[in-house]
A and B are shown apart, each in its own frame.
Chain A
Amino acid sequence: MPEPIIDFRGVTKRFGEHVVYERMSLSVLPGETLTIIGGSGGGKSVCLKMMIGLLVPDEGQVLFHGTSVPDMPEEGLRQVRRKVAYVFQGGALFDSMTVGENIGYALREHTDWSMARIEQRASECLTMVGLHEGVAEQMPASLSGGMKKRVALARSIAIEPEVILYDEPTTGLDPKNIKRIGDMILKLQRELDVTSVVVTHDMPTARKVSNRIAMLYQRAFPFVGTADEMWHSAAPEVRDFIHGRIRRAEQSAPAHPVDAAEDSRGA
């Protein structure tokens, strides 16, 4: 088994009284697309945010190439964030900047490239996600939901990351755009040879893009395996999730919205 790129070891994460993870372990292997599925408000995004140090665990370790992310100095963390791109659920495009400036943001931060070169790279990234160059001049507010997600994708690949984290990339999209985003994830995986972690509760997308699926259930990942293994799993919690059945324990447990930046180091 290859050395994991990202490794969670016995991670516990709490927000006040609410325990999101309890002694959770999970490994992300190089080159794979790992999909994290689970109910809403369960803490899937928290898992992604811990990977790049936006949130820090209360106990346990989060390792990137064997180095503890929460213990990294500022510069180390900056380098992790250069290598690990994050596609936010709503796109999180900067309202005050054009699409082109959004895409070039990481390049301006991490390189000493000229403006012309950054603009050229932004155009390449837009083409890669199926948008024409003219979009670069538009403001994010003028884009549709699907276009925003694709621009967010373009922004994430601009700096040629090793890993891309997708936080619910298909949420709020129509079936055509869901398919398009799924195809895009596969295309980027193929063309850029990146490792991907996708958080979703859209089962068709999960099945389409994943090498492995990890199912979040009761503060840990009791199931990690291929899509086929998941579909044929006899574990009741897996069957219930696939068929959309609500278990009694889940019904009585309220979903806690998590203020993600509450204990964030970066924000």
Chain B
Amino acid sequence: MNGIERFGALVLSGLEWLGGVARLVLRVLRVGPRRPFGFDDILHQTVELGVRSLPIAMLITLFIGMILTWQFGWGLEDFGATMALGNVVSVGLVPELVPSMLAITVGVKMAAGMTAELGSMKVTEQIDAIAALGADPYKKLVWPRVCASTLSLPLLIALGNLIAMLGGMLIAEWKFGVPAGYFYETYIDELEPLNYIASPVKGVTFGALVGAIGCYQGFNTKIGTEAVGAATTDTVAATAIIIIIADFYLNTLFF
């Protein structure tokens, strides 16, 4: 197989994979909104995926806020413009860094968890057993997970925005002598309505992608426990790449 053939095969397998994920999404949209809606399962998954991710999300966003403020403060100090820290940091954090960093860390963790869990269920024939008992595995397993990740990621991002701002405020006051109240005012002043929209829209999109990719990879795990590990590793890479591409596309739409 020469280089061109290899590249062609890679493109084809990528397209096939995207087609598979799209088919899963369509099927879930068809069977999911039917009665019973499965609120209990959605709530359970939201707790599993969202609430249990709270500590890691808070830690990450606190440090993102502190690092970005430190970096910008260091740059602005040369121009005597540290008082503009709030303005600069807010447009970096709210529409971009908090959503994308949380999606790549917490979102990828969610997707990998889904793949590992569903992959194990596939290997032990539990997914077949659900179908054999007359239930729809897409409704029972995929729908609650996709709903939970779509719901919890934007909420984590909203909270993350707050924590990142507090982190920034801490560094601005302690390191660069910018009063916290002033930092807050300039931070909020700089944000336009589009920034407030971009952040949750990105959260919902990334959440849906995380759920769809995590579940698709789990349902398509090959035979054997080794395959569960391989599928989970692939999920980490695939989710991160797709999130970055989706982030770029959303930025071109919003800004």
Contacts and interface: CB of A to CB of B under 8 A. Distances in A.
Interface of A: 49, 52, 54, 74, 78-79, 81-82, 85-86, 88-90, 92-95, 105-106, 109-110, 155, 257, 259-261, 264-267
Interface in B101-149: 120-122, 124-137
The 4 closest A-B pairs by CB, nearest first: A266-B131, A92-B129, A81-B134, A86-B132
Nearest to A49: B128
A-side interface mostly: loop
Given A54-B128, A94-B130, 8 more contacts: A85-B132, A86-B128, A89-B125, A92-B128, A109-B135, A110-B134, A260-B125, A267-B219
**Taking each of A82, A85, A267, which has the highest tally of chain B beta carbons within 10 Å of its own beta carbon?**
A267
Contacts of B122: 261, 267
Given A90-B124, A92-B125, A257 B223 contact: yes
A94 B141 CA distance: 12
Contacts, number: 72
A96 to B, nearest CB: 9
**Taking each of B122, B131, B132, which has the highest tally of chain A beta carbons within 10 Å of its own beta carbon?**
B132
A94 B132 CA distance: 13
A150 to B, nearest CB: 16
Contact of B134 (A78, A257, A260, A264): A78
Contacts of B121: 95
Nearest to A89: B125
A98 to B, nearest CB: 15
B124 A106 contact: no
Contacts of B129: 86, 88, 92-94
B127 A267 contact: yes
